[in-house]
Chain A
Amino acid sequence: MKAASRIRLGVIAALVALLELMVRGGAISRRVLLAPSEMAADLVRLLAEGHYHGDIATTLADVLTAFAIALTAGFATGVAIHALPRLRRALEPLLATYYAVPFFAFYPVFIVILGVGRAPIVIVGVLFGVVAMIVATLNGLDRIPRVLRKTAKLMRMGRIATALRIELPAALPYLFTGIKLAIAYAFIGVIASEFILAAEGIGYRIAYAFNNFDNRTMYALMLFIVGLVTAVNAAFHVAETRLQRRLGR
């Protein structure tokens, strides 16, 4: 393990230990926060009881659906916009300022148009992630060295072969940025929507526990989400590092 990783782990461990001590020592009221060890124990108990397996499956399915749609639609839109420079010049400022708009404020509109249920939740997840994927795709296509396209032409490769064998792998490191953002935004969009728009899912269960002063369930589910997102990010990180080590970037 590198020194930086050791220090990082140390900082996290120290903060968790501090929290544990402050709660157990009474510096923080149990009505506000639980000790991390208690959260972990509660989570193990909840998972063993299996009451929330359905909610976990629902949330994961919605996140994956939103991620998959954001990925494919974002990539396809990025490719299309890249091919139309004039449209791109027109759209670029809108894409750049997209995340400045707190569109979650429009959630009543989603309810009115789409109703309550899983569809609007997935759509919010897609709306969060798709633009990050569009921007990453544009960036990736921009960064393909011109000489690689010339090389493809020298090898008498057709348009589709050039796209699949040359352009896609050359742009992949940049697409990865979009992929990571799309999954992160899919989690944020889906879970935030579940607070408001759902009658099932982890977000809904957290909100329900909060409204019923059920701190033990609430913190256990929060811990579950943190663990899940960390695991997903770690998996992407490993894949990306492996790719980058090869490409030397």
Chain B
Amino acid sequence: MAGGAPSIHLEVRAVTRSFPRDGQSKLDALGPVDMILRRGEFVAVVGPSGCGKSTLLDTLAGLSAPDSGSIVFEGAEVRGRVPEGIGVVFQEDASFPWMTVEDNVAFGLRRAGVSEAETRRRVSDALRLMGLADFARAYPAQLSGGMRQRVCIARTLVTRPRLILLDEPFGALDAQTRLLMGEELLTLWRATEASVLLITHALDEAAMLADRVLVMSARPGRFIDEIVTGWPRERDSRIAAEPAFGEITARLWKVLRAESMKAIGERQRPAAEPA
């Protein structure tokens, strides 16, 4: 890339988010959080369960507005409105069960008024890329969990997002499928040149996939550590055999262990979990 460090793609400053709890009091779910995502970067966020990872992602995507602080995506503020150019993949199966795979993938494009010829072209490209070409006419119920998640990824890809946010996208999948989906994600990242923010609770996943791993504290979630993995852009799951991989996961776990114990202690106290 010409001319020094890549530009800032997403900038998060002092973002906080809380949820109302039993009428009066508030539950501080997140922050204050500061972070920067550079163009084309792959960043993973790990943290103990209930630390506000998903709240962070919803806020970044514009699905909910922060209480305070600012989120700037490509120079414009995101505030409870989904900006053009951001794609999100959730942990839960978000495929529409009443539509075929190809209609699922085409749905967003048709809504956005993209021409039918262009829609067809993009859909068939995305289906081929995700290994779903033979299942275009199938309904999600006929597919495995991993394939349904691929449908959701394909649905996100066809809109050509410049920033892809993933909220534990492989959380519901078995270990081997996760590994392979992780590799596919790396391939997609290289092919699309999008920036990626991956939220996960799996340390090995974060260590393997990301350029940089941010560690979140127990609730209210803040960033307490940052590890630059130093992997080359061309990488796959075989880096798990590198000594550096073991060092990264060991360091991640060292920081996270204490936070996870706090999170477990927190849950044993009667406190309403935000929905």
> Which chain A residues have a beta carbon within 8 Å of chain B's beta carbons?
145-148, 150-151, 153-157, 161, 166, 169-170, 172, 246-249
Closest chain B CB from A54 CB (angstroms): 42
Q: Contact: B142 with A248, CB < 8 Å?
A: yes
The answer to whether B139 has its CB under 8 Å from any CB of chain A is: yes
A248 close to B139 (CB less than 8 A): yes
Residue of B nearest to A244 (CB): B141
- Chain A CB count within 10 A is highest, among B61, B88, B96, B140, for B96
**A246–B97 CA distance with the chains assembled, in angstroms:** 7
Please name 17 pairs of A and B residues whose Cβ atoms are closer than 8 Å in the assembled complex, sorted by A.
Answer: A145-B92, A145-B94, A146-B92, A147-B93, A147-B94, A148-B94, A150-B90, A153-B63, A154-B63, A161-B111, A170-B96, A170-B97, A246-B98, A246-B139, A247-B97, A247-B98, A248-B97
- The answer to whether B40 has its CB under 8 Å from any CB of chain A is no
Which residue of chain B lies nearest to A168 when distances are taken between CB atoms in the complex? B98
Q: Does B108 contact A (CB under 8 A)?
A: yes
A249 to B98, CA, bound (A): 11
Name the A residues within 8 Å of B227 (CB-CB): none
Q: Are the CB atoms of A248 and B141 closer together than 8 Å? A: yes
The 5 A-B residue pairs with the shortest CB-CB distance, nearest first, are A248-B141, A147-B92, A169-B98, A147-B94, A247-B97
Q: Does B185 contact A (CB under 8 A)?
A: no
B: interface residue count bin: 20 to 34
A-B contact count, CB below 8 Å? 52
Q: Which residues of chain B from 100 to 125 have a CB within 8 Å of any chain A CB?
A: 107-108, 111-112
**Those of B157-200 within 8 Å (CB) of chain A:** none
Q: Are B140 and A248 in contact (CB under 8 A)?
A: yes
Closest B residue by C-beta to A155: B108
Report the separation of the CA atoms of residues A245 and B111 in the bound assembly, to the nearest whole angstrom.
Answer: 26
Question: A166 — nearest CB in chain B belongs to which residue?
Answer: B96
* Complex contacts, A166 vs chain B, CB 8 Å: 96
Q: A149 vs B179: C-alpha distance in the bound complex, in angstroms?
A: 29
Known: A153-B82, A246-B139, A248-B140. A169 touches B96 (CB 8 A): yes
Residue from A147, A157, A170, A247 in contact with B90 in the complex, judged by beta carbons closer than 8 Å? A147
Q: How far is the CA of A34 from the CA of B27 in the complex (A)?
A: 72
Contact check, B82 vs A247: say whether CB atoms are below 8 A apart.
no
**Contact partners of A246 in chain B: CB under 8 A:** 97-98, 139, 141
Contact of A247 among B87, B93, B141 (CB under 8 A): B141
Q: Which residues of A contact B94 (CB under 8 A)?
A: 145, 147-148, 150-151
Compute how far the CA of A249 lies from the CA of B141 in the bound complex, rounded to whole angstroms: 8
For B97, list chain A residues within 8 Å (CB). Answer: 170, 246-248
Taking the closest CB of chain B, its distance from the CB of A161, in whole angstroms, is 8
Cα A92 to Cα B274 in complex, Å, equals: 25
- Cβ of B112: which chain A residues have Cβ within 8 Å of it? 155
Query: Do B96 and A154 touch across chains, with their CB atoms under 8 A apart?
Result: no
Task: Kindly provide the distance from the CB of A142 to the nearest chain B CB, expressed in whole angstroms.
Answer: 13
Which residues of the partner chain B approach A150 to less than 8 Å between Cβ atoms? 58, 63, 88, 90, 94
Greatest chain B CB density within 10 A among A147, A157, A161, A166 is at: A147
